[in-house]
Every structure is written in C-alpha cells, then in structure tokens.
C-alpha cells in the first residue's frame, strides 16, 4: 500500500474534515449507537479523529492511523486528550489489548488493495476484539459502480477553506476491470492564488463473497450484513457491504 498524499500531505489533509462532515454522517451516528455500553473502543483508520473524540468520555478509546498529518489534526481537536492516538498500520498493529468494539469506517478498508492485505487487517481486528466484543467496517458494493459518479463534471464543487478562502475542488477517476481497483485523483485549486494541490489514490472494491471467506478465515463471525449505515439489511443493489459481528 503506497503512501497517499491525500492523507500524508498536511495541506491536503487539512481539507478532510471540510469534505467529509463526519458529525452529520449516518456511519458516525451508527457507531455512536454501537458504542453505547462498550467500555473500550478501537478506531482503526481514525483519520482526523472526529469519531474517536466523539466516543471518548467514560470509556477507553484508542485511535490508530498510519498518516502523521491526519493524527496531528486529530490531536489538536477539542476533547482529543480523551483519546490515545497511535500511529500504526492496521495490517500489522498489535497493541496487546482487547476492546469491546472495533470500528474501521469511512471506507478505510478499501485502501487495502490485495486479498492478503485485507486478510491481515481482519486478523488485526480479531487480535484486538474482546471475547464478547463486536466489530464493524464498511466497503462499497462493487455492483453499484459508484466510481462512475466521480468524474470531473459530476464532482466539481466549491470548498470554503478557513485559511485559503474559496477553493475549487474536483476528482477524476479510472477503473481497472481486471483488478477491480479504482484510481482517482483529488484536486484543489485555491482561487486567490491559483495554487493547485493534487493527490492520486487507489482503492479496491472486493466482492461480498471474498469478504465472507476472509472474515471466517480470520476467526470472526458476522451476525448481520447491513446494506447501508441507516440500519437496512444487505441485499443485491444496496450501496454498502457492512458486516457487524464478533469472534467466531
């Protein structure tokens, strides 16, 4: 997995919260509900820490991310002192601790491009899950071909950055049918100066059948497959693949 400038470059990472609006998202709300009654939470791929900080207070929360630029933003958030932020790779992380809830949201699972990498991440989840704990992660349903909506015209938008002012933003995208990997560019052009910031990212779209095999191989079980973060069950054509379960 190559280092992605979208998360590792401090200037680009500074756009993450503006673009994602975590506190308004259904995955944010769902994870808060799942955390009720959980005395400890591990947030893998915690990014800028919005979810981890929201879950802190009255429980142990550890947020893990491989990108120092994202963690720097996370540690500067109000309430960040309630979270133990750790720089680490979800494929190899071993904290020697177990948690009541392990979450991997924001489609972070899709940055793992090979079957072997995905198996390693699931092994990490299993290694950190308490005997009666639960896990949840999300991956876009490849059948929906969401990447087709990520072209320059459809993705063109204006972002109001607190330091840069108005910033034009857009994406471009290419899909490799042989591997299922989508390569997309993210571009920001600062209106005041004309400066452009760009990054190229790659994500995978594994099929549900593969996820089922890998999850079982990691010693995990799925109690329920969700098709979206609003709590609807998975069925062909739903936008998400969201397994919710525990140790087998």
Confidence class of residue 25 from pLDDT cuts 50, 70 and 90? confident
Q: In which band, very low, low, confident or very high, does the pLDDT at 20 lie, cut at 50, 70 and 90?
A: confident
Q: What is the model's pTM?
A: 0.96
pLDDT tens digit string along 169-202?
Answer: 999 999 999 999 999 999 999 999 999 999 999 9
* CA–CA dist 138, 144 (Å, integer): 14
DSSP string, 44-101: ET-TTSHHHHHH-SSSEEEEEES-HHHHHHHHTSTTGGGSEEEE--TTT---S--EEE
Q: Is the pLDDT of residue 141 over 80?
A: yes
Q: How far is 205 from 1, CA to CA, in rounded Å?
A: 15
Q: Quick check: 24 pLDDT over 80?
A: no
CB 227 within 8 A of CB 235: yes
Asked whether the beta carbons of 236 and 143 are under 8 A apart, the reply is: yes
What confidence tens digit (pLDDT) does each residue in 33-90 have? 999 999 999 999 999 999 999 999 889 999 999 999 999 999 999 999 999 999 999 9
Fold of 5-142+206-247: Rossmann fold (3.40.50)
Residues of the chain above pLDDT 70, percent: 98
pLDDT digits (tens, 9 = 90+) for 3-15: 899 999 999 999 9
pLDDT grade for 22, boundaries at 50, 70 and 90: low
CA angle 242, 247, 248 (to 5 degrees): 100
Residue ranges covered by each domain of the chain = 5-142+206-247, 143-203
């Amino acid at each position: 997995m190559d280092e992605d400038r979208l998360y590792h470059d401090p200037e680009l990472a500074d756009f993450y919260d503006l673009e994602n609006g975590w506190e308004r998202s259904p995955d944010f709300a769902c994870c808060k509900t799942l955390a009720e009654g959980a005395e400890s939470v591990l947030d893998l791929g915690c990014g800028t820490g919005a979810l981890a900080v929201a879950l802190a207070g009255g429980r142990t929360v550890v947020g893990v991310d491989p990108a120092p630029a994202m963690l720097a933003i996370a540690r500067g958030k109000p309430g960040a002192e309630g979270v133990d932020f750790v720089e680490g790779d979800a494929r190899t992380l071993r904290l020697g601790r177990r948690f009541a809830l392990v979450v991997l949201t924001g489609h972070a699972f899709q940055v793992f491009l090979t079957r072997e990498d995905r198996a390693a991440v699931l092994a990490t989840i299993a290694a950190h899950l308490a005997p009666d704990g639960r896990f949840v992660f999300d991956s876009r349903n490849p059948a929906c071909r969401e990447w087709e909506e990520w072209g320059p015209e459809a993705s063109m938008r204006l972002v109001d950055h607190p330091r840069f002012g108005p910033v034009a933003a857009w994406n471009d995208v290419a899909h490799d049918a042989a591997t299922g990997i989508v390569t997309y560019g993210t571009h920001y052009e600062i209106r005041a100066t004309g400066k452009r910031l760009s990054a190229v990212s790659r994500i995978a779209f594994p099929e549900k059948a593969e996820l089922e095999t890998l999850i079982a191989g990691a010693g995990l079980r799925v109690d329920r497959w969700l098709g979206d973060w609003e709590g609807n069950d998975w069925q062909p054509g739903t936008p998400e693949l969201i397994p919710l379960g525990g140790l087998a």
